[in-house]
Amino acid sequence: MQTTSTPTHCPYCALQCGMNLSPLPSGGVEVVERTDFPVNRGALCGKGRTAPEVLSSRVRLTSPLVRSEDTLVPATWDEALDRIAEGLRRTRTEHGPDACGVFGGGGLTNEKAYALGKFARIVLGTSQIDYNGRFCMSSAAAAGMKAFGLDRGLPFPLEDIPRTGCVILVGSNLAETMPPSLRFFNELRENGGTLIVVDPRRTRTAEQADLHLSPRPGTDLALALGLLHLIVAEGRTDETYIAERTSGWEEARAAAMAHWPEYVERITGVPVPQLREAVRMFCEPESAMVLTARGPEQQSKGTDTVGAWINLCLATGRAGRPLSGYGCLTGQGNGQGGREHGQKADQLPGYRKLVDPEARRHVAEVWGVDPDSLPGPGRSAYELLDALGTDIKSLLLMGSNPVVSAPRAAHIEERLRSLDFLAVADVVLSETAALADVVLPVTQWAEETGTTTNLEGRVLLRRQAITPPEGVRSDLHVMHELAARLGSERGLEKGFPTDPEEVFEELRRASAGGPADYSGITYRRLAEENGVFWPCPAAGDTNSGANHGADSGVDSSADSHADSGADRNVDPRADSNADDREDASLDAALPDDPAGGRAEADAGAAVHPGTPRLFLDRFATEDGRARFVPVSHRAIAEEPDNEYPVLLTTGRVVAQYQSGAQTRRVDELNAAAPGPFVELHPRLAERLGAAEGDPVAVVSRRGRAVAPARITSTIRPDTVFMPFHWPGEGRANTLTNPALDPTSRMPEFKACAVRLETVRR
């Protein structure tokens, strides 16, 4: 094992901050600053700094558990795996393959996400696989596909932000979710650029904005339409760009012109002068960006809402141009890679469509199966969870805790309890794992090697720095063993290697030619280059579908690949760094290449440099043009009424991460954020008769949650906010509405109707 520091990445959010792990005499590791990774340059938030505590947590699972009557008791790995194989086999025999469900997570490495999708489709033969990333960025992904023909969270590196003229940040509280990223926005303002934040709350991020727009939750779509109306009315559109690089403008323009600023003010609560000021700030500079996060995306009209913000970029010529564009700030650690490699209900590796015959043929060939044997698309995440106990009888779950994180969580908890069989792989006994028939203790980030893809589309290598505890095995080992038990009759038992690099080599082949083409990326390159942006076709492959619209040719002093010209019309050998990379020394910790794939990608100097910036020449649509999508305002699925007169919105706090399964086990983070709260305006608190810290019940049509009042004038008087990291009485997702976006199938986490009650204790 390592005796010196190991460069790696944080296990939590999509920024994937770089860090070094230094061995401790006790056998553990500590986090040491790593300044060579350009995203964070050494900065970390408290979650990243304390991440090693989860490795040695006293509540860490170190033995498989199996249910014996009502309790979970320790078992051997063979006993536990046999029980899972038996449970899944029985379901498949009695009810058919689609009665077996698989649920993954946006925290799984690319290798695990790939193996899980393959396992579900060829070993279980089920179409019923999806993952919690559906709850994260699926609306932005759907809108990006519609408009640009390709979804990559950010189509440019974060390092471009300080050099643009204006950023509109919609529904993102970066100061709490990704603190090190604030540096880019601070530099933007130091350089004379401006920051507009759109958020119903005056968050710590909004405090730093030049202009804060505070719309009523769920009205961001109308807000974007009102801004576009003013842009047209004030003659600020870029007609040359619209004519040369887009289609569908007339319909989108007509839809926007039906949304008069005064009408938009009535819907959103944002005064017309603020709309005019936002338009001026956005349109006057040479370049500008719109970045969205969960605020506009987690809505039952999330795809249209993001589409409206993209329309704003297209009408002003702000997409596919240097230092401009639309981007989504993906949330989970591998939210980007997790959606590219096959654990999503409708996709195959390489971000290919499951219904595309050519994609099925290609992937089936890599997997050694008949394309016709691959199942079709399955249910989306909430629909899959909602079908547990009825259509779906058994579930294998990895890297997710839906008892806390799913909408209408009490109902989902009941669905999980109604299953014939539930198996969960996790590092601690999460609230979901506690319901399982079998729990498998699996390795964590620093105990295994694997790749993730951060919010910029930068593929990264997480390296093993520590030996896992006795009794703990990797998720890849779990799939290997289950395939041996369930796939032998179809000759599939050998298709699930446990070595992550071997899995990655197969992933490269499976993704080759797809939109998210990783075929030119190797562990060696990742180690040498500090990450590689996809698409990155293998050497000599100039026909990759990934190259549509991809061009890294923008002048950038901040990016060493800036002038490398990754367009398919440009010889990648123009990359002056290629030869240097050939000579660079390998990280001694890396295992040998098991599949010979390195030789394929690295032979000679014709190495594709990766693609930091997309769309500069053309978009990834068939005709190369971006598509306006005409959208109109519509209300949230559940408007307040006399019975439920207040809006609830949910989100995160800086010291906790997602369902809190890991961060709630870290003393320092727990001390900083020990439990849920209800944030409400003083006027609302006065009407309720609640003082600071008083328990307040928040009641929706789906249930009731109780948490202490936190009274602040930074929130709208018609809205309350709850963070969603905790189970039990204060579980925010007991209240949230599972109304789904018709395109992305995203639930409406961000707005539902509630009433407030005081609680006597």
Residue whose CB is less far from ligand SF4, 12 or 103: 12
Closest approach, Cβ 15 to ligand SF4, in A, equals: 4
Residue whose CB is less far from ligand SF4, 21 or 492: 21
Q: Write out the two tokens for 730.
A: 């204060």
Q: Which residues contact 152 (CB under 8 A, 6 or more apart)?
A: 144, 336, 457, 516, 534, 614
Closest approach, Cβ 633 to ligand SF4, in A, equals: 34
Closest approach, Cβ 346 to ligand SF4, in A, equals: 28
Residue whose CB is less far from ligand SF4, 9 or 608: 9
Closest approach, Cβ 63 to ligand SF4, in A, equals: 29
Closest approach, Cβ 13 to ligand SF4, in A, equals: 3
Give CA–CA dist 300/24, Å, rounded.
48
Q: Is 12 in the site for ligand SF4 (CB under 6 A)?
A: yes
CA atoms within 13 A on the CB side of 453: 32
Closest approach, Cβ 130 to ligand SF4, in A, equals: 24
Q: Is 7 in the site for ligand SF4 (CB under 6 A)?
A: no
**Apex 652 CA angle, 651 and 657, nearest 5:** 135
| Listed ranges 174-182, 334-342, 545-553, 592-600: which one lies at the site for ligand SF4 (CB under 6 A) | 174-182
Q: Is 726 in the site for ligand SF4 (CB under 6 A)?
A: no
Q: Is 152 in the site for ligand SF4 (CB under 6 A)?
A: no
| Listed ranges 172-180, 425-433, 573-581, 597-605: which one lies at the site for ligand SF4 (CB under 6 A) | 172-180
| Listed ranges 14-22, 455-463, 612-620, 720-728: which one lies at the site for ligand SF4 (CB under 6 A) | 14-22
Closest approach, Cβ 12 to ligand SF4, in A, equals: 3
Q: Is 716 in the site for ligand SF4 (CB under 6 A)?
A: no
Sign of CA dihedral 182, 309, 724, 114: negative
Q: Is 180 in the site for ligand SF4 (CB under 6 A)?
A: yes
Q: Is 17 in the site for ligand SF4 (CB under 6 A)?
A: yes
Residue whose CB is less far from ligand SF4, 15 or 512: 15
Task: Classify 660 in phi/psi space as left (phi over 0), alpha (psi -120 to 50) or beta.
Answer: left
Residue whose CB is less far from ligand SF4, 213 or 455: 455
Residue whose CB is less far from ligand SF4, 50 or 744: 50
Residue whose CB is less far from ligand SF4, 15 or 281: 15
Residue whose CB is less far from ligand SF4, 449 or 454: 454
110-118 helix and 500-511 helix, angle to the nearest 10 degrees: 70
Residue whose CB is less far from ligand SF4, 182 or 233: 182
Residue whose CB is less far from ligand SF4, 219 or 330: 330
Residue whose CB is less far from ligand SF4, 14 or 526: 14
Give CA–CA dist 196/184, Å, rounded.
14
Q: Is 337 in the site for ligand SF4 (CB under 6 A)?
A: no
Closest approach, Cβ 475 to ligand SF4, in A, equals: 21
Q: Is 655 in the site for ligand SF4 (CB under 6 A)?
A: no
Q: In degrees rounded to 5, what are phi and psi of residue 97?
A: -60, -35
Give CA–CA dist 516/544, Å, rounded.
10
Q: Is 15 in the site for ligand SF4 (CB under 6 A)?
A: yes
Give CA–CA dist 696/709, Å, rounded.
6
The residues pairing with 7 across neighbouring beta strands, listed in sequence order, are 20
Q: Is 16 in the site for ligand SF4 (CB under 6 A)?
A: yes
Q: How far is CA 240 from CA 244, 314, 315, 549, 623, in A?
A: 6, 11, 10, 19, 17
Residue whose CB is less far from ligand SF4, 158 or 709: 158
Q: Is 80 in the site for ligand SF4 (CB under 6 A)?
A: no
Buried b (16+ CB within 10 A) or exposed e, 425-453: bbbbbbbbbebbbbbbbbbbbbbbbbbbb
Give CA–CA dist 350/417, Å, rounded.
35
Q: Is 412 in the site for ligand SF4 (CB under 6 A)?
A: no
Q: What is the CA radius of gyration of the chain?
A: 25
Residue type, 576: S
| Listed ranges 12-20, 182-190, 269-277, 636-644: which one lies at the site for ligand SF4 (CB under 6 A) | 12-20
| Listed ranges 77-85, 176-184, 310-318, 740-748: which one lies at the site for ligand SF4 (CB under 6 A) | 176-184
Closest approach, Cβ 43 to ligand SF4, in A, equals: 8
Closest approach, Cβ 6 to ligand SF4, in A, equals: 16
Q: Is 178 in the site for ligand SF4 (CB under 6 A)?
A: yes
Taking the mean position of all CA atoms in its chain, how far away is CA 228? 28
The single-letter DSSP state of residue 729 is G
Give CA–CA dist 620/148, Å, rounded.
6
Q: Is 10 in the site for ligand SF4 (CB under 6 A)?
A: yes
Sign of CA dihedral 100, 106, 109, 111: positive
Residue whose CB is less far from ligand SF4, 15 or 503: 15
Give CA–CA dist 705/560, Å, rounded.
51
The single-letter DSSP state of residue 164 is S
Residue whose CB is less far from ligand SF4, 39 or 685: 39
CA-wise closest residue to 732 among 681, 656, 667, 666: 656
CA-wise closest residue to 182 among 7, 33, 329, 8: 329
Residue whose CB is less far from ligand SF4, 162 or 335: 335
Q: Which residue is nearest to ligand SF4 (CB)?
A: 48
Give CA–CA dist 179/653, Å, rounded.
11
What would the DSSP string read from start to end of 213-228?
E-PPTT-HHHHHHHHH
Site for ligand SF4 in 35-54 (CB under 6 A): 40, 44-45, 47-48
Number of residues that bind ligand SF4 (CB under 6 A): 14
Q: Is 446 in the site for ligand SF4 (CB under 6 A)?
A: no
Q: Is 13 in the site for ligand SF4 (CB under 6 A)?
A: yes
Contact 383/354 with Cβ under 8 angstroms?
Answer: no
Sign of CA dihedral 235, 239, 240, 242: positive
Give CA–CA dist 56/456, Å, rounded.
31
CA-wise closest residue to 710 among 657, 734, 674: 674
Closest approach, Cβ 488 to ligand SF4, in A, equals: 40
Contact 191/162 with Cβ under 8 angstroms?
Answer: yes
Name the 3-class secondary structure at 383.
helix
Residue whose CB is less far from ligand SF4, 184 or 628: 184
Task: Classify 457 in phi/psi space as left (phi over 0), alpha (psi -120 to 50) or beta.
Answer: left
For ligand SF4, the binding residues (CB under 6 A) are 10, 12-13, 15-17, 40, 44-45, 47-48, 178-180
